[in-house]
A and B are shown apart, each in its own frame.
Chain A
């Protein structure tokens, strides 16, 4: 389904998309956070891009771990350790692989959810990236279990993530910087849930 070269292309495409959307993501974060989400993530993925020569020819697990470490080192905001841990855990789960199949999508999303939960000490319903990530993981898994192909499963995952982003507008933040706003966070979508959905869309376009 996806080989090493394609993983590098997907990482590159995620970086381009995040860079394109950095002002939008930062604007969302201005309202309920500290206004750096897009800028920080774009800086992180620029560093991932710089690491590309080091990743070439390596197994997919190593690629994802390297990308995760680059994010941890350069993002500078909460999304650094969160996405960094997510990518590193996914890399660990895919150690030695040179080709991914549909079921590996679930492995990656499981690792993302577990990584973010571990690092952020958070659960669903706290208005965080998990509110897009968990429904996306569940939808991809359900679609594959029902015998659908990877492309369809990812499309259903993206739809579930988008619904998750909408859901974050309806709840009060109890985790992260937005939790200081309490009820004033109502009505605003979570920037982390949004950036995760952006990344998943890029993956869906490339599979």
Chain B
């Protein structure tokens, strides 16, 4: 099954997003990589790398992140693991995580989920 890593500046937010996905997709391999190693706001290269290692399988891992350094740090982690099947998702963090994990638990491939996440980017809430 495709796995997920949630990267946020906030440890609480990353853990919260992981928790939320369990409502509909409990059992999907997913890890939070939020905040700095010693606590505090920021993104940790090591936390992201360890989270990927932790849940990696040949089905691949999709990384979802909030903004700024979360995006850039995740990019650098992926560049350091060129042999792995890893992608970054360009979509809203919460909606993307829920949609993607629901799809993963139904057996979708990484490519199929990434396709669906393109649609999530366009989703409107009030219309």
Contacts and interface: CB of A to CB of B under 8 A. Distances in A.
A40 interface: yes
A194 to B, nearest CB: 18
B45 A36 contact: no
Interface stretch (A52-60, A74-82, A134-142): A74-82
Interface string B42-61: 11111000000000000000
Contact of B73 (A36, A81, A176, A177): A81
B42 A72 contact: no
Q: Secondary structure of the A side of the interface?
A: helix
A80 B46 contact: no
A82 B42 contact: no
B45 A72 contact: yes
A120 B75 CA distance: 11
A73 interface: yes
The listed residue with most A CB atoms (<10 A of its CB), out of B40, B75, B76, is B76
B42 A76 contact: yes
Nearest to B40: A76
Q: How large is the interface on A (under 10, 10 to 19, 20 to 34, 35 or more residues)?
A: 10 to 19
Interface string A149-179: 0000000000000000000000000001100
A85 interface: yes
Contacts of A36: 41-42
B45 A34 contact: no
B72 A81 contact: yes
Interface in B16-75: 36, 40-46, 67-69, 72-73, 75
Nearest to B74: A81
B75 A119 contact: yes
Contacts of B43: 76-77, 80
A81 B69 contact: yes
Contacts of B42: 36, 40, 75-77
Interface string A32-44: 0010100010000
A77 B69 CA distance: 5
A84 interface: yes
26 contacts: A34-B41, A36-B41, A36-B42, A40-B42, A72-B45, A72-B73, A72-B76, A76-B36, A76-B43, A76-B69, A77-B42, A77-B43, A77-B69, A78-B68, A78-B72, A80-B43, A80-B45, A81-B73, A81-B75, A82-B72, A85-B76, A119-B72, A119-B75, A120-B72, A176-B68, A177-B67
Q: 8 closest pairs, A vs B, by CB?
A: A76-B42, A81-B72, A78-B69, A76-B36, A78-B68, A73-B45, A77-B69, A81-B73
Given A72-B45, A84-B76, 15 more contacts: A36-B41, A36-B42, A73-B46, A75-B42, A76-B40, A76-B41, A76-B43, A76-B69, A78-B69, A80-B72, A81-B73, A81-B76, A85-B76, A119-B72, A119-B76
Interface of A: 34, 36, 40, 72-73, 75-82, 84-85, 119-120, 176-177
